Amino acid sequence: MGRRLPQIFFALSLFALVLIIAAVWQASTPSWKKYQHEYLQMEAQGEPNAVTKAAVLNTPPQIQQILLPGLQRVDRCTTCHQGVEDPTMKNAPEPFHYHQGLGPHVPSKFGCTICHGGQGLATDVKDAHGNVPFWQTPLLPADYVRASCGRCHKEGDIPGVPELTEGRRLFETEGCRGCHKLNGIGGSIGPDLSEEGASLRSPQWLEQHFLNPSAVSPGSAMPNFHFTRGQARALTYYMLSLTNADMGAYYASEPLIPSPSYGRELFVQKDCLVCHSIGGVGAKVGPDLLGVTKRHSTNWLDEQLVNPQLVYPGSSMPAFDMPATERKAVIAFLATATATDAQAIVAGKGQAPTPEDAAIAAGKLDFGRFGCAGCHGTDLQGGVPNPNAQGGEVPSLLHLASDYSKDDVLEIIRNGRVPPLANTKGPQPPLYMPAWKNLLSDEDIHQIVEFLWSKQQKSQDNW
Please write down the long-range contacts of 268-273, taking CB distance under 8 Å and 24 or more positions apart. Answer: 268/345, 268/348, 268/349, 270/320, 273/342, 273/345, 273/346
Task: Give residues 200-219 in contact with other proteins (rule: CB under 8 A).
Answer: 200, 216-217
Q: Is 20 among the residues that bind other proteins (CB under 8 A)?
A: yes
Q: How far is the CB of 148 from other proteins (least distance, A)?
A: 20
Q: Check binding of 38 to other proteins (CB under 8 A).
A: no
List strand residue ranges (DSSP E) for 88-151, in order: none
Nearer to other proteins, 54 or 67 (CB): 67
* Sign of the dihedral through C-alpha 111, 116, 120, 126: negative
274 touches other proteins (CB under 8 A):
no
Among residues 339, 138, 324, which one has the least CA distance to residue 240? 138
Q: What mask, x for binding other proteins by CB under 8 A, covers residues 69 to 108?
A: -----x-x--------xxxxx----------------x-x
Residue 73 C-beta: closest distance to other proteins, Å: 9
Q: Binding of other proteins at residue 67 (CB under 8 A)? A: yes
Is 167 within 8 Å of 234 (Cβ atoms)?
A: yes
Given the complex with other proteins, which of 205 and 404 has the nearer CB atom? 205
**Which of 54, 55, 57, 63 is close enough to bind other proteins by CB under 8 A?**
63
Q: Does 65 bind other proteins (CB under 8 A)?
A: yes
* Shortest Å distance, C-beta 90 to other proteins: 11
Contacting range for other proteins; rule: CB under 8 A; set: 134-142, 308-316, 319-327, 445-453:
134-142
Within positions 300 to 319, which residues make up the interface with other proteins, using CB under 8 A? none
Among 36, 123, 148, 304, binds other proteins (CB under 8 A): 123
Residue 49 makes contact with other proteins by CB under 8 A: no
Instruction: State in angstroms the smallest separation of the CB of 11 from other proteins.
Output: 8
3-class SS of residue 66: strand
**Which of 15, 271, 316, 416 lies at the binding interface for other proteins (CB under 8 A)?**
15
- Residue 27 makes contact with other proteins by CB under 8 A: yes
Helix or strand holding residue 75 (H, E): strand 73-75
Among 8, 55, 249, 283, binds other proteins (CB under 8 A): 8
Considering the rule CB under 8 A, would residue 265 count as an interface residue with other proteins? no
| Rounded distance between C-alpha atoms, residue 271 and residue 285, angstroms | 13
Which of 64, 16, 10, 9 is CA-nearest to residue 36?
64
Query: Phi/psi class of residue 293: alpha, beta or left (left: φ > 0; alpha: ψ in -120 to 50)?
Result: alpha
Paired strand residues for 182? 185
User: DSSP string of 350-415?
Assistant: H----HHHHHHHHHHHHHHHTTHHHHH-TTS----B-TTBTTSBPPPSTTHHHH--HHHHHHHHHH
Among 122, 164, 182, 334, indicate the residue that binds other proteins (CB under 8 A).
Answer: 122
CA gap 65, 67 in Å, rounded: 6
In one letter, which amino acid is 220? S
DSSP string over 247-269: TGGGT-SS-S---HHHHHHHHHH
Residue 376: CA atoms inside 13 Å, Cβ hemisphere, count? 22
Q: Which is nearer to other proteins, 69 or 355 (CB)?
A: 69
Judged by CB, which is closer to other proteins: 15, or 312?
15
Q: How many residues bind other proteins (CB under 8 A)?
A: 52
* 126 lies in the binding site for other proteins (CB under 8 A): no
CA neighbor of 301 nearest in space, from 269, 333, 274:
333
Q: Which residues bind other proteins (CB under 8 A)?
A: 1-10, 12-17, 19-24, 26-28, 62-63, 65, 67, 74, 76, 85-89, 106, 108, 119, 121-124, 127, 133-136, 199-200, 216-217
